[in-house]
Amino acid sequence: MDLRKIFFIAACAASVLTSAQSECSDYWTGAQRSSDARFRTNGQSRGASVQVGKPTELNIIVYKGQDYHIAFAYDEKVLGDSIHVRLIEKVREANIKPSTDGSPSSITYADVRKVIWDNAEQGGSQDIEFTATSSKRMAIEVTAPGVSENGGKGKRSDRDIGCLGILIEHMPTPNIGF
């Protein structure tokens, strides 16, 4: 194929997908809000286009002393009826290597990922509310299964990229009781 044609096709594809990203950017506004009206929309809420079967993660910060609600909106015709969600804490851990020749020990740091919530273990729950007792770096990892061949009652799409919105809400942790 002519090189110019390849570049042109690639540019077209880029343009289509950039446009898809833009179309998805407000998708989070369609997610179900918490029934607790004290929650306020968090600025880290985000929409994006995602590919079936490929994990997408939104990296955020949660602050100590805040309660959070995270919910999702997605294009079911492409991504399927339910999505797999995991919350992964990213921890910077030190590895100390003792020296063998009397020189100071060397320390290297690595990001370690710890799964702290998995909706597969929570009956496939499509939202979560939690209290942050420490400030943490967190990745909200979403994997869309897509629509099965015979599932979805005619919903199946020939696309494998669809919109996903992640709504994040927060409020200062309230006290309950007396």
Partner 1 sequence: MLNTTCPHRSFKGIGLVFLLAGCTSATGPAGDISASVHDSGAVNAQSLYEMPTPNELFQIVREISGEGQRQMMSPAVNLTHYNTKSKRALNFGVYATDLVFASSFNLTSEVARYFIVCKKLGDDLGLAGSFNDSDLARLQRNLTKGDSLDVISDEAYKQAYRRMREEDMGPVLSLVLAGGWVESMHLVTHQVIHFDPQNALVQRVAEQKVSLNHLVDLMGAYPTDPEVLNMKSRLLAIRDIYDTFPVVREPHKGISPSGRAILGDDIQILATPEGFQLLSNALEALREDIIRPEDAPKAANA
93-112 positions binding partner 1, by CB under 8 A: 94, 107-112
CB of 101 to partner 1, least distance (A): 23
Contacting residue, 27, 31, 39, 60, with partner 1 by CB under 8 A = 60
Helix (H, G, I), strand (E, B) or coil at 8: helix
Longest dimension (CA), the chain: 75
Contacting residue, 16, 29, 32, 121, with partner 1 by CB under 8 A = 16
Contacting residue, 61, 106, 121, 148, with partner 1 by CB under 8 A = 61
Contacting residue, 135, 148, 151, 155, with partner 1 by CB under 8 A = 135
Binding status of residue 29 toward partner 1 by CB under 8 A:
no
Binding status of residue 64 toward partner 1 by CB under 8 A:
yes
Compute how many other C-beta atoms are within 10 angstroms of the C-beta atom of residue 94.
Answer: 8
How far is residue 156's CA from residue 147's CA, in Å, rounded to a whole number? Answer: 6
Q: For residue 42, what are its two tokens?
A: 């968090």
Binding status of residue 32 toward partner 1 by CB under 8 A:
no
Binding status of residue 17 toward partner 1 by CB under 8 A:
yes
CB of 61 to partner 1, least distance (A): 5
Burial class (CB in 10 A: 0-12, 13-18, 19+), 97: exposed
Binding status of residue 133 toward partner 1 by CB under 8 A:
yes
Contacting residue, 72, 141, 162, 167, with partner 1 by CB under 8 A = 141
111-130 positions binding partner 1, by CB under 8 A: 111-117, 128-130
Q: Are 30 and 76 in contact (CB under 8 A)?
A: no
- The CB-side HSE value for 124 (13 A sphere, CA atoms) comes to 6
DSSP strand pairing (136-143 vs 127-132): unpaired
